[in-house]
């Protein structure tokens, strides 16, 4: 009998968190949409223009126009749009401004979540930045598209619809910043773009997706356990400037000259995509010298990251050693407490 109870409890615990696809009309959540540059709002006249749409001259679709072209969204949420402008996100200060803007919108008790449309090339970087700096447990969903909105078989309309559904779903709260594309929900900390053109490009590699935006429901199978959003130590209101950090690739014959050049150009930190478990080859000696003489801290990581985690060595302040944080996953292992 005890074994039967244990089995019943185990089965109950394994049932994923789900929410129905369509809420009661009188209880629709409000989702706020902010638009950024990228492929999703592109609107080429040629429906086969999958490559050079940025050069054809047609204006992007504004946030309001995007929502108007997906009337089905009204079944899932009350949607408001920030403005007709497309926010940039290519510089640290622009990311800070975006984070503060999203924080301000989430303070509105009427807003259940925020969706930000983003270009797919750096979607994972912005998502991870917001994951460490947004100070709310309300969902922030980043969404992009591999094909322009007006092209044949575009993934843009459904991706945007699903992002809004996820942002409106109560089960999305407390899971940090989410990336929604191709019906899949990924954690900002884990996701990466794996292919230039394919729709299934966003993957979390060995860690796996969080859940799905299925036609009938939003379903989560796991939740992030590392610190994020409200638990993160970073506070944008207390950060005036961002130190310059350069990213380098290690290779056979690396003599450290690029590291020297980066520091001479003003870098206060170096992230080195190393070999093996984060090895920096012959540049290791130069990195040590740079640390001892300038205080620049280096982080070495293996990229792309195969399965498995490796022991890390914590970087220390100027005048002490070791200076290199060596790990197999490039993103979070450099600051593996997050």
* Angstrom distance (rounded) from CA 161 to CA 118: 14
| Separation in Å, CA 132 to CA 11, 154, 209, 232 | 34, 31, 19, 6
Q: Supply the pLDDT for residue 152.
A: 98
Q: Confirm whether pTM is higher than 0.75.
A: yes
Q: Which fold has domain 17-51+59-231?
A: Rossmann fold (3.40.50)
Q: Which two tokens stand for residue 161?
A: 């619809």
Q: What pLDDT is attached to residue 299? A: 87
For residue range 281-298, list pLDDT tens digits in order: 889 999 999 999 999 988
Residue ranges of the chain with pLDDT lower than 70?
A: 1-26, 302-338
Give CA–CA dist 312/332, Å, rounded: 11
Q: How far apart (Å, rounded) are the C-alpha atoms in residues 187 and 257?
A: 36
Residues 62-99 have pLDDT tens digits of 999 999 999 999 999 999 999 999 999 999 999 999 99
Residue 4: the pLDDT is 40
Give the active site residues.
39
Tell me whether residue 12 is exposed, middle or buried, using C-beta atoms within 10 angstroms of its C-beta: 0 to 12, 13 to 18, 19 or more: exposed
Which pLDDT score is estimated for 45? 97
Predicted pLDDT at 302? 67
- Taking the domains of the chain in order of start, what are their residue ranges? 17-51+59-231, 243-335
Dist. CA 335–CA 252, nearest whole Å: 26
Architecture, CATH, for domain 243-335: 3-Layer(aba) Sandwich (3.40)
Q: At what angle do helices 257-264 and 284-294 cross, to 10 degrees?
A: 20
Using omega within 30 degrees of 0 as the cis cutoff, is the peptide bond preceding 304 cis? yes
């Amino acid at each position: 009998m005890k074994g039967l109870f244990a089995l019943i409890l185990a089965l109950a615990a394994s049932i994923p968190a789900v929410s129905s696809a369509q809420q009661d009309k009188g209880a629709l959540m409000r989702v706020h949409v902010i638009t950024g540059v990228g492929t999703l709002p592109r609107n080429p006249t040629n429906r086969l223009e999958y490559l050079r749409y940025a050069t054809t001259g047609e204006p992007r679709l504004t946030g309001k126009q995007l929502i108007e072209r997906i009337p089905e969204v009204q079944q899932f949420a009350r949607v408001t749009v920030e403005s007709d402008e497309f926010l940039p996100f290519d510089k640290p200060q622009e990311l800070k401004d975006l984070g503060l803007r999203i924080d301000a919108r989430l303070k509105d008790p009427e807003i259940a979540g925020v969706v930000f449309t983003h270009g797919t090339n750096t979607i994972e970087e912005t998502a991870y930045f917001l994951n460490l700096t947004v100070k709310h447990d309300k969902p922030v969903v980043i969404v992009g598209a591999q094909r322009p909105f007006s092209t044949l078989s575009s993934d843009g309309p459904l991706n945007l619809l699903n992002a809004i559904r996820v942002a409106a779903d109560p089960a999305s709260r407390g899971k940090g910043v989410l990336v929604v594309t191709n019906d899949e929900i990924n954690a900002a900390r884990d996701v990466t773009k794996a292919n230039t053109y394919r729709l299934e490009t966003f993957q979390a590699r060995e860690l796996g997706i969080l859940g799905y935006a299925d036609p009938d429901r939003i379903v989560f199978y796991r939740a992030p356990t590392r610190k994020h959003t409200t638990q993160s130590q970073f506070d944008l209101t207390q950060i005036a400037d961002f130190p310059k950090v350069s990213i380098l690739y290690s290779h056979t014959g690396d003599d450290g000259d690029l590291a020297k050049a980066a520091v001479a150009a003003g870098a206060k930190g170096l992230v080195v995509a190393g070999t093996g478990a984060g090895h920096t080859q012959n540049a290791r000696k130069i990195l040590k010298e740079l640390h001892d003489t300038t205080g620049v801290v280096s982080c070495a990581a293996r990229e792309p990251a195969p399965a498995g985690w490796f022991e890390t060595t914590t970087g220390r302040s100027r005048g002490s050693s070791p200076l290199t944080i060596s790990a197999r996953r490039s993103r979070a292992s450099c600051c593996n407490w997050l």
